[in-house]
Amino acid sequence: MSHLKAAQKAFDLARRPSRSSALTTFSTEVFDHDVVPSSLASISPILRVANEIERERPRVAYLCRFYAFEKAHRLDQSSNGRGVRQFKTLLLQRLERENASSLASRHKKTDAREIQAYYQQYYERYVRTLDQGERADRAQLGKAYQTAGVLFEVLCAVNKSEKDEEVAPEIIAAARDVQEKTEIYVPFNILPLDSAGASQPIMQLEEIKAAVSALCSTHGLNWPSSFEQQRLRTGNLDMLDWLRAMFGFQKDNVRNQREHLILLLANNHIRLHPKPEPLNKLDDRAVNTVMTNLFKNYKTWCKFLGRKHSLRLPQGQPEIQQRKLLYMGLYLLIWGEAANVRFMPECICYIFHNMAYELNGLLAGNVSVVTGQNIEPSYGGHDESFLHKVITPIYRVIEKEARKSKNGTAPHSSWSNYDDLNEYFWSPDCFSLGWPMRDDGEFFKATFDSAQGRMGVLKKSRRTGKSNFVETRSFWHIFRSFDRVWTFYLLGLQAMVILAWKEISLVDAFQKDILYNLSSIFITAAILRLLQSILDMALNFPGFHRWRFTDALRSFLKIIGSLFWVILLPLLYAHSVQSIPDSIKKLISFIPTKGSIPLYILAVALYLLPNLLAAVFFLFPMLRRWIENSDWHIVRFLLWWSQVLVLSYFISLHIELFQFILLHRNDYVYKVCFIVLTFFVITNDILSPRG
């Protein structure tokens, strides 16, 4: 009872008064290792072992729970963690209830001898028996070794507290054997890649053997002298272990991505047709397929930024496959350890681009000009250097921006989400960040954070994100977001009102005067286009300080161009109408009247050409993709303007078409063409991709 009173006294001194309602968080009758607070996760295996041996040895289960309480108290003495105070209180109450009953059921005179006897019994009955079986169950063996490890940890603690005699040599030998076997029977998802899993059925598949054998080809790779020497001597290492040693990835991440890469290679290897010969050797076609799928976005990113990718292949055939596997392993390790940075794919491409370049230098044996030794990666040295030096700084930027959202209540212009931050890596300017990344780089400058100027005046640092779009809360988004639908409805309504006002039949709608009246929908379309351009400028205005000059110029010219058509089309339409007041005729008397085709029709033809050609490009996506990938300056200009112009022969063609429509009134073919053209302008925003 002395040790229980001491623990209770220490807990009472450390804890602060708490409300009685706090004790209702956990049940006093049911106490399981699954309800352990997250900050005390390391004691969960101890409580699991206590629950399993409760019926067989109540006193040993009590000692395990007592050790778990002591360990929890050491981890959080002040009980500041969430739910820690309630958890420790209920655990202490259970220890007080079970102390007397478990003590009565003890087989030995002391607790130290009790747990030593049970540990030796458990080792002989479970661990050794399972290990010596012909077909050992891997899951049961792993669980038995974990339980034996926990029992030995509790045994040492009890023996130390009671100052009993030293632990028996046979128990120490058994514990050493358990420790070695625990490292062999490591957890796995699908593939047991350790030495103990070689006899498992899945590891006997030829495609799995081919992928594993290819990854184990580490010929020519220089290992650091400080890396696991024992595994170096036994040769139980592969390419991903070498990447971990050089770039500082976490061990568990390497284990997960090794299994990931092996399954990708094996699945593609077994699906090849014709089948590779021999089947247990990884085929280059499978490697190329996985590599193409894996680096498709990275190569597109490099092409978009005008940079050459870092995937450099050597001359020799065996070295080519090894280099490809190293590239794929490096990318998967970066992705596996990126955490929330995975939501920024171009940022992942930037990291891989620089690390792959360093990988090329490592494999080529480049020598540093400064030190005279072989170059080393910018981030490396220990198992978690990549996480701490690359991912953590980027994550802090994400975290700081997320706090500024105030749980979604702050304006979108005052903080940046994943897409906004990822926009920084859409431009060649991201390479100014350097590698290793500069702490004072533009990406790491906090948005709207105050910085101290030279004269002691506070100034605002440059903005991190929000390059292309900043959402502004406004009811105008109803029109802007569904402008295609509104355009279709309004223009269709206007056409139906004109036909209803004339009180004519549908056949009479093909008359020249009626068609000319219907052509007034182009004026409405121009007005709606002007409204759309103004809304694009106004609703994106909060991000103006991150706009480039070309972006601002483009938005301004779109408004000017739309305004030009809004002014020109009504003037030409009024000039062509006979029944207008004389005062209006005098104002527009400067417009020439010569020519067989009204100027309004010519203007409408020019106004329709971009919409018609955009619809054609929509119907022929191959042509559109060719134009989008073209490097011609004129094509770049047209894409920048986001409205496609046409050549002169297109203009003359459509002018002649309109001329035929007006002169040949009785030819319904041309009138149907006019209706089709009108339908195109009504639905131009539906058919054409948004610019």
Nearest to 511 by CA among 498, 523, 524: 498
Q: Which helix (H) or strand (E) holds 527?
A: helix 521-539
Residue 116 burial (C-beta neighbours within 10 Å; 0-12, 13-18, 19+): buried
pLDDT value at position 452?
Answer: 40
Q: What is the DSSP string of 474-500?
A: -TTHHHHHTHHHHHHHHHHHHHHHHHH
Instruction: Give the C-alpha separation, 229 to 294, whole Å.
Output: 33
Residue 183 burial (C-beta neighbours within 10 Å; 0-12, 13-18, 19+): exposed
Q: How is residue 378 annotated by DSSP?
A: S
pLDDT value at position 493?
Answer: 85
Q: What is the DSSP string of 247-296?
A: H---HHHHHHHHHHHHHHHHHHHHT-SSPPSSTTS--HHHHHHHHHHHSH
| pTM > 0.75 | no
Q: What is the DSSP string of 128-181?
A: HHHHTSTT--HHHHHHHHHHHHHHHHHHHHHHHHHT-PPPPHHHHHHHHHHHHH
- Residues 632-673: tens digit of each pLDDT: 766 666 555 544 333 333 333 344 444 444 444 444 554 555
Q: What would be the CATH architecture of the domain defined by 32-185?
A: Alpha Horseshoe (1.25)
Instruction: Give the C-alpha separation, 665 to 448, whole Å.
Output: 65
Contacts of 611 (CB under 8 A, 6+ apart): 680, 681, 684, 688
Instruction: Give the C-alpha separation, 405 to 366, whole Å.
Output: 46
Strand partners, 459: 451
Cα angle value 297/302/307 (rounded, 5°): 170
Positions of the chain with pLDDT lower than 70, given as ranges: 1-34, 130-139, 163-166, 179-187, 194-199, 228-235, 316, 367-372, 413, 446-473, 506-507, 509-510, 541-551, 576-598, 610-611, 613-618, 624, 628-631, 633-691
